[in-house]
Structure 1
Amino acid sequence: MAESAAKRLKTTGVTIGTHNGHFHADEALAVYMLRLLPTYAGSSLVRTRDPALLQTCHTVVDVGGEYDASANRYDHHQRTFSTTFPGRPTKLSSAGLVYMHFGKAIIAQQLSKPEDSEDVGLLWNKIYESFVEALDAHDNGISAYDPKGIAAASLEKRFSEGGFNLGAMVGRLNPNWNDPVPSDPKEAQAAEDEKFLTASQRIGEEFSRDLEYYSRAWLPARDIVKAAYEKRTEYDPEGRIMVLEGQSVPWKDHMYNLEEADGTGKKVLYVLYAEKPVPDAKWRIQAVPVTMDSFESRKALPEAWRGARDDKLDEITGIPGGVFVHAAGFIGGNKTFEGAKAMAVKALDI
């Protein structure tokens, strides 16, 4: 999809259209993503709800009541719209639509690889799930958790999260209700458009940081984690200890995917890695979370070890070189690899 879209757009001096008035994260990101591509790099922007003006635009996002990729129309507000990203359940917003069609071209440009390469496809899915999908859900009023399930369980939030999410970050850049507005309509629209461009750049920076991280850090870590996963039975016959050689890398996503693909049902409980890539580095032992974002561990380090440090920890564990074990039991440290390995092996049976 992205490849054909990128090839189809060969014009220069194109205009992107979106709606004026209160702006949202989805169209702010949609405009930013388009402008990452050569076709749209020098594009102009028209913010209006006037159908006649929108008709003159090369590409229209989040307004117009039409989704037709062949005509470069990417709205999601029509009653009949129900499109989702491949393999995901969330209805798309204009951000998701633009990403679905142009995301591979953006990623391929970042990686200097063909759009149909495995790495581009992997990142296309990953960045949607990690970044874009939340905007789609926010704009379409879809909760991360089933409201009925939350009500049935009588769950209540323990504290306010400050209303800060990707959508709110853009929303607070809109003009306040009582801000002065120029009396001249053209000046007023220009002032509003300037705020929109600020919002588009702001959320776009976050998107680009995600793209940078996943392409330059997360993706190269995959082979390292795979090698460690394949060697895990060297440290425990059941493969419950995984050792990252050299230094720590982003491992959670890759390890969960490897476990799922493995299909044996056996789970890694502890991951060992050096604090720094130097010969005399201290080593960490980390309990694997139940899920990617969970604070609960599959098997936390033993209760008796938690909160202990240095000599006191050595005394409790019977293993020399202890540095600490966190009070919550999700991570600990030892001065040497052998010490960290011994802690992991002992913790398995406690």
Structure 2
Amino acid sequence: MTENAAKRMKMEGGGVKIGTHNGHFHADEALAVYMLRLLPTYAGSSLVRTRDPALLQTCHTVVDVGGEYDASANRYDHHQRTFTTTFPGRPTKLSSAGLVFMHFGKSIIAQHISQPEDSDEVGVLWNKLYESFIEALDAHDNGISAYDPAGISSAGLEKRFSDGGFTLGAMVGRLNPNWNDPTPSDPVEAQAAEDSKFLLASARIGEEFARDLEYYAKAWLPARTIVQDAWAKRTQYDPEGRIMVLEGQAVPWKDHLYTLEEQEGAKDGKKVLYVLYPEKPVPDAKWRIQAVPVTKDSFQSRKALPEPWRGARDAQLDEVSGVPGGVFIHASGFIGGNKTFDGAKEMAAKACAF
């Protein structure tokens, strides 16, 4: 009873009204509503789910319905034939989630990290969150595949197994009522039941957004300075700059490394091949040597650790590598370990020359 009352209060609310469509809901408007409600203007806002133009006209802000995109009037629909807007520097047509994030994302981030909207930190996070989270929802809602279907077909690629269809969009879609679920005969009750499910969906996709925002703000962004320092010192360990050392502890380094290489126009022979870091931030920690992947999510390394080392451990690894203190090398050669920094550094140097 208390939960239902709380949900009803959130729908009826107070303050400004947010409008979106009723019926089958999607991840984009569920997230758009969640993001708006993070801001003071929309705190305690009520939600109107309808396609009735007269009711939508009473709303302060309307998302994903109404056939109008006009930020000055707080109208954020993307279904009109003339709509082609994309996020700055990205090719994907926006959905209501992308529109709301494009206009309000910096305010949300600035509020979260207590920095001015025009700060460098806010700008970096605004772009990163769009590319890592929001863009996938825009593409899903606009029917845009992650890979070119014609290219996949011409290459003769087939899916090896089902991934369960577990995307951000599908996660929200599963919260819609099933076709054969009982529906209250009273239209008001039926709409209230549907709205209740929408609020659950908005909270669920919002939770994922909030986790990404927290991670990128509190973990990913602070790592940028550490990686920049390591990048600047890389020629101390290899004249060609192919070995990068994270001296204090492991941090999320891949995105930042790729960005630095792109910014400085690093050629293939000058790109980092191996990243060294301690397993724990303690003085006597063992060290890891990790091969840099071709892309962030690739299982293919730029230069995997030497084949004769792969799968070897301890004394056997010492013998095949010629470096004392070996711990292991993964069977695929993407990562390995040594008991000391000097040992890991020697392994990296030998791997570069192998």
Shift of 1:80: 0.4
* Structure 1: distance between partners of 2:252 and 2:185: 53
1:256 aligns with 2:243: no
Partner of 1:297: 301
5+ residue gaps, structure 2: 1-13
Shift of 1:302: 0.5
What does the per-residue CA deviation read over 1:51-71, in whole Å, with 9 as the maximum and x for residues that have no partner? 100000000000000000000
Partner of 1:23: 25
Partner of 2:79: 77
* Structure 2: distance between partners of 1:163 and 1:320: 47
Q: How does 1:1-350 map to 2 (within 5 A)?
A: 13-265=15-267, 266-350=270-354
Shift of 1:349: 1.2
* Structure 2: distance between partners of 1:136 and 1:306: 42
Shift of 1:286: 0.2
* Structure 1: distance between partners of 2:252 and 2:291: 14
Report SS of the residue matched to 1:82: coil
* Structure 2: distance between partners of 1:97 and 1:226: 32
What does the per-residue CA deviation read over 1:183-203, in whole Å, with 9 as the maximum and x for residues that have no partner? 111111000000000000000
Letter of the 1:178 partner, please give it: N
Letter of the 1:47 partner, please give it: R
* Structure 2: distance between partners of 1:114 and 1:166: 30
Report SS of the residue matched to 2:323: coil
* Structure 1: distance between partners of 2:186 and 2:312: 68
What does the per-residue CA deviation read over 1:152-173, in whole Å, with 9 as the maximum and x for residues that have no partner? 1111111111100000000000
Report SS of the residue matched to 2:304: coil
Letter of the 1:272 partner, please give it: L
* Structure 1: distance between partners of 2:171 and 2:99: 21
Runs of 4+ in 1 over 2 A off after TM superposition: none
Shift of 1:312: 1.0
Q: TM-score, normalised by structure 2?
A: 0.95
What does the per-residue CA deviation read over 1:300-325, in whole Å, with 9 as the maximum and x for residues that have no partner? 00111111111111111111111111
* Structure 2: distance between partners of 1:279 and 1:117: 36
Shift of 1:25: 0.2
5+ residue gaps, structure 1: 1-11
* Structure 1: distance between partners of 2:266 and 2:342: 28
* Structure 1: distance between partners of 2:186 and 2:265: 66
Identity %: 83
Partner of 1:7: none
What does the per-residue CA deviation read over 1:196-233, in whole Å, with 9 as the maximum and x for residues that have no partner? 00000000000000000000001001110000000000
* Structure 2: distance between partners of 1:348 and 1:27: 50
Report SS of the residue matched to 1:247: coil
Report SS of the residue matched to 2:24: coil
Aligned residues: 339
